[in-house]
C-alpha cells in the first residue's frame, strides 16, 4: 500500500479538488469584477449592514472593520459583524452583497434559525475532527483498526458540519438579496450582479462538501471498510 497521501486513490478526490480550485477562482474573479460596479445609491457596505440590522431590531450588533480581504464574518459569540476594509468602505455591488450576507447571519442568530444553531453546536466536534481525523487514521493503519475507525468517524463529523453549513450560507444569501432589494439599496440589473457575487461564494462551500465526501470514500477504500480487502 502506498502512503495514504500519495497513493493512486487520490484520483478519487481529484474532481472535488478541481471544483474547489475553480470555486476559489470564481469567488475572487466575481468579487473583483463587481467591486468595480458601484451601486446607484452610493451607500457603503457598512451603512447597508447598519441599516439592515437596525431595521430588524438588531441595533445592539456593532459593525466593525477587520483587516484582510474577504475576511468578513458575523461572530455569534460576541454578537458583532466584522467587515473587511473593501467591503466596509466600498459602495460596490460586491461590497453590498457581502455586507448584507453577513447581516443575514446576524438575523439567523437572532431569530434562532435551526440550521445555524445546529452548525454552531457542531463547531467543537468539527474542529476536533479536522485536527485529529487524519493523524488517527494514519496511525491506526499501522497499529490499531480501532484508531482507523475513530479517524473515519471524526472525518465524517467534519463532513456533517460542512453539509449543515450549506443551508446556512444559502439562506443568508437569499436574505441578503431580499433585504437589499426590499430596502431599495439595489434594483434592476444590480440584483443579478449581487446574486452572482453571493452564488460564487456559495460554490466554495459546495466544493468543500464534495472534497470531503470523496476523501471519506477514499479513506474507506484504503481502510478496507469499503470494497474488497483482497483486491
pTM for this predicted structure: 0.87
Is 195 within the bounds of a domain? yes
* Structural domain includes residue 66: no
Element at 42 (helix H, strand E): none
**Can you tell me the mean pLDDT for 156-163?**
97
Q: Is the pLDDT of residue 40 over 50?
A: yes
In a domain? residue 153: yes
Query: Is 83 within a domain?
Result: no
Residue 82, SS3 per DSSP = strand
Decide if 147 is inside a domain.
yes
Q: CA 208 → CA 119, 174, 228, distances in Å?
A: 15, 20, 28
Catalytic residue, candidates 86, 102, 169, 190: 102
Spell out the residues 6+ positions from residue 27 whose beta carbon is closer than 8 angstroms to its own. 70, 200, 201, 203, 204
pLDDT in tens, 106-123: 999 999 999 999 999 999
CA–CA dist 24, 11 (Å, integer):
20
In a domain, 199, yes or no: yes
71 domain-assigned: no
Mean pLDDT of 82-89: 96
**Is 178 within the bounds of a domain?**
yes
State residue 1's pLDDT score. Answer: 36
- pLDDT above 60 (res 5): no
Domain ranges, residue 195: 8-41+93-223
Which of the four pLDDT bands, split at 50, 70 and 90, describes residue 231?
Answer: very low
| H-run or E-run covering 10 | none
Structural domain count of the chain: 1
Work out the average pLDDT over 172-187.
Answer: 93
Residue 64 a catalytic site member: no
Amino acid at each position: 500500500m502506498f502512503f495514504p497521501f500519495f497513493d493512486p486513490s487520490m484520483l478519487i478526490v481529484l474532481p472535488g479538488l478541481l471544483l474547489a480550485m475553480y470555486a476559489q477562482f470564481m469567488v475572487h474573479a466575481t468579487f473583483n469584477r463587481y467591486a468595480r460596479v458601484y451601486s446607484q445609491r452610493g451607500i457603503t457596505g457598512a451603512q447597508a449592514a447598519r441599516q439592515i440590522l437596525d431595521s430588524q431590531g438588531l441595533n445592539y450588533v456593532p459593525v466593525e472593520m477587520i483587516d484582510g480581504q474577504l475576511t468578513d464574518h458575523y461572530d455569534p459569540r460576541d454578537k458583532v459583524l466584522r467587515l473587511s476594509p473593501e467591503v466596509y468602505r466600498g459602495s460596490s455591488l460586491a461590497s453590498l452583497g457581502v455586507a448584507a450576507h453577513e447581516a443575514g447571519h446576524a438575523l439567523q442568530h437572532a431569530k434562532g434559525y435551526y440550521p445555524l444553531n445546529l452548525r454552531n453546536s457542531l463547531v467543537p466536534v468539527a474542529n476536533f475532527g479536522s485536527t485529529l481525523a487524519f493523524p488517527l487514521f494514519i496511525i491506526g493503519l499501522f497499529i490499531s483498526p480501532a484508531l482507523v475507525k475513530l479517524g473515519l468517524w471524526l472525518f465524517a463529523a467534519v463532513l456533517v458540519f460542512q453539509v449543515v453549513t450549506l443551508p446556512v450560507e444559502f439562506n443568508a444569501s437569499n436574505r441578503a438579496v431580499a433585504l437589499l432589494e426590499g430596502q431599495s439599496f439595489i434594483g434592476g440589473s444590480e440584483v443579478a450582479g449581487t446574486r452572482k457575487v453571493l452564488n460564487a461564494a456559495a460554490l466554495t462551500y459546495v466544493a468543500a462538501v464534495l472534497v470531503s465526501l470523496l476523501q471519506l470514500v477514499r479513506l474507506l477504500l484504503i481502510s478496507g471498510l469499503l470494497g474488497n480487502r483482497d483486491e
